[in-house]
Amino acid sequence: MKYLAYCLLLGLAWCLPSVGQNVSIQARLDRPEIKIGERAAIDLTIRTDDLSRTRFYLLQDSTGAPERYRVLSFGATDTIDIGKGVQEIKAQMIVTSFDSTLITLPPIVVETPSGQAMTKPLALNVISPEVDLSQPENIRPIVSPWDEPYTLMDILSLIFTSWIFYAVAGLLLIALLIYEYRNRAQYLQVVKPEILRPVSALEQLKRKLEALGDARLETQEDFKRYYSTVTDGLRAYLGARYGFEAMERTTDEVIEKLHSRGLGSEQTRHIEQVLMEASLVKFAKSLPERGDALQLRTQTLALAEGIERLFMPSEGESLAGKEVIQ
Nearest-angstrom CA–CA distance, 250 and 268: 14
Q: Which amino acid is at 52?
A: S
| Whole-number pLDDT of residue 20 | 47
| Whole-number pLDDT of residue 249 | 84
| Whole-number pLDDT of residue 98 | 84
Cα 272 versus chain centre, distance:
69
| Whole-number pLDDT of residue 80 | 87
What is the b/e burial string over 93-113, where b = at least 16 CB atoms within 10 angstroms of the residue's CB? bbbbbeeeeeeebbebebbbe
| Whole-number pLDDT of residue 173 | 92
| Whole-number pLDDT of residue 322 | 39
Nearest 5°: phi and psi at 313? -65, 145
Nearest CA-CA partner of 281 in 228, 217, 229, 235: 228
Nearest-angstrom CA–CA distance, 223 and 220: 5
Q: Which amino acid is at 250?
A: T
- pTM greater than the 0.75 cutoff: no
Give the pLDDT mean for 79-103. Answer: 86
Sorted by sequence, the CB contacts under 8 Å of residue 9 that are 6+ apart come out as none
Q: Work out the mean pLDDT of the chain and round it to a whole number.
A: 77
Nearest 5°: phi and psi at 102? -90, 115
| Whole-number pLDDT of residue 65 | 58
Number of H helices, E strands in the chain: 9, 10
- H-type alpha helices, the chain: 2-20, 152-160, 163-188, 201-210, 220-242, 251-260, 265-283, 290-310, 315-325
| Whole-number pLDDT of residue 172 | 93
| Whole-number pLDDT of residue 140 | 67
Per-residue pLDDT band at 6 (split at 50, 70, 90): very low
Per-residue pLDDT band at 175 (split at 50, 70, 90): very high
Nearest-angstrom CA–CA distance, 126 and 25: 25
CB 117: neighbour CB atoms within 10 A?
21
Give the pLDDT mean for 238-265. Answer: 83
- Identify the residue with better confidence: 95 or 61: 95
pLDDT in tens, 276-317: 888 887 787 777 787 877 888 888 888 888 888 887 764 444
pLDDT in tens, 118-174: 888 888 898 887 766 777 766 666 555 555 677 888 888 888 888 898 899 999 999
| Whole-number pLDDT of residue 36 | 87
pLDDT in tens, 179-221: 888 888 776 666 666 666 777 888 888 888 888 777 777 888 8
